[in-house]
């Protein structure tokens, strides 16, 4: 079982699929997709920047724990992710998903593992029955 902690805004923003037209709908689609990880028994939490929407408040949706940044401003969700890793009794059991190098550095210094956003999206594509894809050189870093 993997204990996922996902930088939701970073993952949504990593694929130019028109998410900017309706950010909250894009967040909801990501949570639905992450449900496949929860369905296989993984512990899945996602943290978003901004304010909760009526449709996607804090709580469990599709087996995924949805959390929001506690404040507005730069690095707000990143700070919440760092708090969650710090508070975990075994930070090394957490896999933080982000392509944000500064956040990755902060959580690896606490002992967490890091996976890039593109790698997670390809894993979800594969689990949902899509064609398996290899990580690009950039995403494998």
* Domains, the chain, with CATH or none: 3-127 (3.40.50)
Q: Which of 19, 24, 18 is nearest to 53 (CA)?
A: 24
Report the chain's mean pLDDT, rounded to a whole number.
90
Q: Is the pLDDT reported for residue 26 higher than 60?
A: yes
The tens digit of pLDDT for each residue in 57-113 reads 999 999 999 999 999 998 999 999 999 999 999 999 999 999 999 999 999 999 999
What pLDDT does 96 receive? 98
What pLDDT does 90 receive? 93
| Choice between 7 and 137, residue whose per-residue pLDDT is larger | 7
% of the chain with per-residue pLDDT over 90: 75
What is the rounded average pLDDT of the residues 5-26? Answer: 90
């Amino acid at each position: 079982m993997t204990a996922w902690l996902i930088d939701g805004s970073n993952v949504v923003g990593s694929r130019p699929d028109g998410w900017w037209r309706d950010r909250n709908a894009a967040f909801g689609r990501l949570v639905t997709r992450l449900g496949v990880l929860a369905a296989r028994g993984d512990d899945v939490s996602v943290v978003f920047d901004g304010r909760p929407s009526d449709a996607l408040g804090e709580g469990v949706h599709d087996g995924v724990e949805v959390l929001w940044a506690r404040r507005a401003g730069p690095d707000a969700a990143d700070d919440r992710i760092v708090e969650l890793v710090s508070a975990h009794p075994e930070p090394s059991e957490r896999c933080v998903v982000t392509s944000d190098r500064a956040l990755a550095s902060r959580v690896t210094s606490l002992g967490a593992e890091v996976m890039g956003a593109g790698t997670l999206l390809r894993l979800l594509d594969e689990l949902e029955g899509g064609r398996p894809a290899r990580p690009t050189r950039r995403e494998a870093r």
